[in-house]
């Protein structure tokens, strides 16, 4: 329980730093009623030795999404990218009641997901390419 509280406090402290984030549009998609993907390029944390990059991503949905107790309109995710093995994993995610990570926080999680390969022709591949374009030694 103590670890969970510490993780929530860490995520909330990251949220304060991202409150003034400058989101840059990466792409959009008609899936899930339509959404736009933004990245916070000043949030990149690069370990050139290991080839690992951390980056914050924002999914801003055009229509209300279901999946939690209440609908949400945006989702902010911190992902880690492995530039040497072309894979990614989630480190943290938050769901918001309004656009652009504003409004009520619906849910915040820090699951440190398992590594997954980056599929060709996907938004995930575009995100991996962006993250890894800055990680060259």
Helix (H) or strand (E) run with residue 93 in it = strand 87-96
- pLDDT tens-digit map of 9-48: 444 444 444 456 799 999 999 988 899 999 998 888 988 8
The ranges assigned to domains in the chain are: 2-133
What does the block give as tokens for 91? 């480190």
| Whether CATH 3.40.47.10 fits 2-133 | no
Question: How far apart (Å, rounded) are the C-alpha atoms in residues 5 and 49?
Answer: 31
Contact 109, 93 (CB under 8 A): yes
Give pLDDT, residue 36. 96
**Residue 44: half-sphere exposure toward Cβ, Cα within 13 Å:** 20
In angstroms, rounded to a whole number, what is the distance separating the alpha carbons of residues 107 and 96? 7
- How confident is the model over 96-111, as pLDDT tens digits? 999 999 999 999 998 8
The strand pairing partners of 75, in sequence order, are 59, 95
pLDDT confidence bin for 135, thresholds 50/70/90: low
User: For residue 19, what pLDDT is reported?
Assistant: 53
Burial class of residue 89 in the structure, from the number of CB atoms within 10 Å of its CB (0-12 exposed, 13-18 middle, 19+ buried): middle
Predicted TM-score (pTM) of the model is: 0.79
Structure tokens at 49: 């030795």
């Amino acid at each position: 329980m103590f670890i969970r509280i510490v993780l929530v406090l860490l995520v909330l402290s990251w949220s304060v730093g991202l409150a003034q984030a400058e989101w840059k549009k990466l792409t959009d998609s008609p899936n899930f009623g339509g959404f736009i993907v933004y990245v916070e390029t000043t949030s990149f944390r690069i370990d050139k030795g290991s080839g690992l990059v951390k980056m914050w991503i924002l999914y801003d949905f055009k229509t209300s999404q279901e999946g939690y107790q209440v609908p949400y309109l945006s989702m902010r995710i911190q992902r880690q990218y492995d530039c040497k093995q072309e894979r990614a994993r989630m480190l943290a995610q938050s769901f918001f009641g309004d656009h652009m990570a504003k409004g009520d926080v619906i849910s915040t999680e820090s699951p440190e997901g398992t590594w997954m390969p980056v599929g060709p022709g996907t938004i995930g591949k575009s995100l991996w390419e962006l993250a890894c374009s800055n990680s060259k030694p």
